[in-house]
Amino acid sequence: MPATVSELTKERQLILLCSRGTLNEEHQTQIKELMSERLDWKEILYQGITHRTLNLMYYHIKNLELTDKVEEEVLKVMKTQSKVYAIRNKQYFEEIDNILSKLNEQGIRVAILKGNFLAAKVYPSIETRTFNDLDFLINIADGDKIVEILEQLGYVQGQYDDATGEIIPSSKKQKRIHQMATTELQEALKKTDNPFTPLLQVDLNFSVLWKGNCPCDINTAELLERVVEVDINGAKTYILDYEDFLIQLACHLYKEAALLNWISDLRDLKIYKFADIAMFVEKFSAQIKWDKLINFSKKTGSDRIVYYAFYYTNLMYGQAIPEDVMKALEPEDKEYLNEYGIENEKPAKWQFDFFTRLFETTRVLEVSEEALEKRNQFWQAKGN
């Protein structure tokens, strides 16, 4: 049972090293050493795809002039996927400009969350952070107006039918169930002629938290009051301030790591979510006011959640988060670091260590059907 990165297989060490945004000399030497040996590229390819770090790995391998060490057919996949995501992300950035200019005209302020900003400003190149939708944090009071603007731009609130390639508009009841059971409005979808981005999706989050035994309370209006203006490819947009951005990343990571809905679909533990935090901290170390982050997370009761995300980020990337910050956030009881199914009255405890959970898809076999009852009820109700 590996407890540290150095105990992992060569392939998994390489995956983690190449999920960093910047590589120091030591990292570069380690990558070169690992790649001088025979490697199981099928393992690397799968882990790179499932953890969404393949494009970043290709970026580093190319810069380190190590492409000749990669099996030719695997290299082709890396190259092709990187090109596709460069096109996809560029189209999404253009769409941000379209949507934000309409929202700005109406005086509606939304904050761009996670990957959309990180791909533009934090990751080393546009294609190295993949994402599948635009994520906005909105004030629920603006929800109807925002949906109206999106509809004017051709969006439909509904679900995509893979079999027919059509968007099925959601009924009023389905939209309400989505709103009541999650912290998002029903997603807005739009078809395009671009074969690499056939469907654009906008997620409208009205909270950075989740429903179902959420132990903290973060007021969205307060977050939106102190947003920071940023330019994304020429578009005037806003992001949460640096401390809030980090807290949101941590809450999102914890929610998906510990709620059954994500675990059962194997969307829970993904390296890119930890890499997001490590890279954001590295990039904005001069701007982040750690005291402010600690105080706000304690005030809102999110300190344990933030600690969870920081703890595992450090386990993967060394001391990404300063030691004194970890000390200030450290809870007395750390049992919850190995718990999941937090929406149920009694959370379950993982039988595997963190790295086994991270890399082995069989973790999902631990989850019982009984534990999934609430999640199944939601999808059943939405289908009606």
| CB nearer to another protein: pick between 108 and 328 | 108
Q: How far is the CB of 343 from another protein (least distance, A)?
A: 11
Q: How far is the CB of 182 from another protein (least distance, A)?
A: 9
Contact of 192 with 199, CB cutoff 8 Å: yes
Q: How far is the CB of 176 from another protein (least distance, A)?
A: 4
Q: How far is the CB of 237 from another protein (least distance, A)?
A: 24
| CB nearer to another protein: pick between 133 and 184 | 184
Tally Cβ neighbours within 10 Å of residue 364: 13
Single-letter amino acid, residue 246: L
- Rounded CA-CA distance 254/311 in Å is 11
| CB nearer to another protein: pick between 48 and 341 | 341
Contact of 223 with 240, CB cutoff 8 Å: yes
| CB nearer to another protein: pick between 230 and 381 | 381
| CB nearer to another protein: pick between 150 and 325 | 150
Q: How far is the CB of 105 from another protein (least distance, A)?
A: 21
| CB nearer to another protein: pick between 13 and 179 | 179
Q: How far is the CB of 174 from another protein (least distance, A)?
A: 9
Contact of 34 with 17, CB cutoff 8 Å: yes
Closest CA to 82 of 42, 31, 115, 125: 125
* Beta strands, E only, the chain: 111-112, 134-137, 156-161, 166-169, 188-191, 199-205, 228-232, 235-239, 339-340, 348-349
Task: Report DSSP state, residue 49.
Answer: H
In sequence order, the β-bridge partners of residue 231 are 236
Binding site for another protein (CB under 8 A): 140-141, 143-144, 173, 175-177, 179-181, 185, 211, 377-378, 381
Both tokens of 307, joined, read: 């600690």
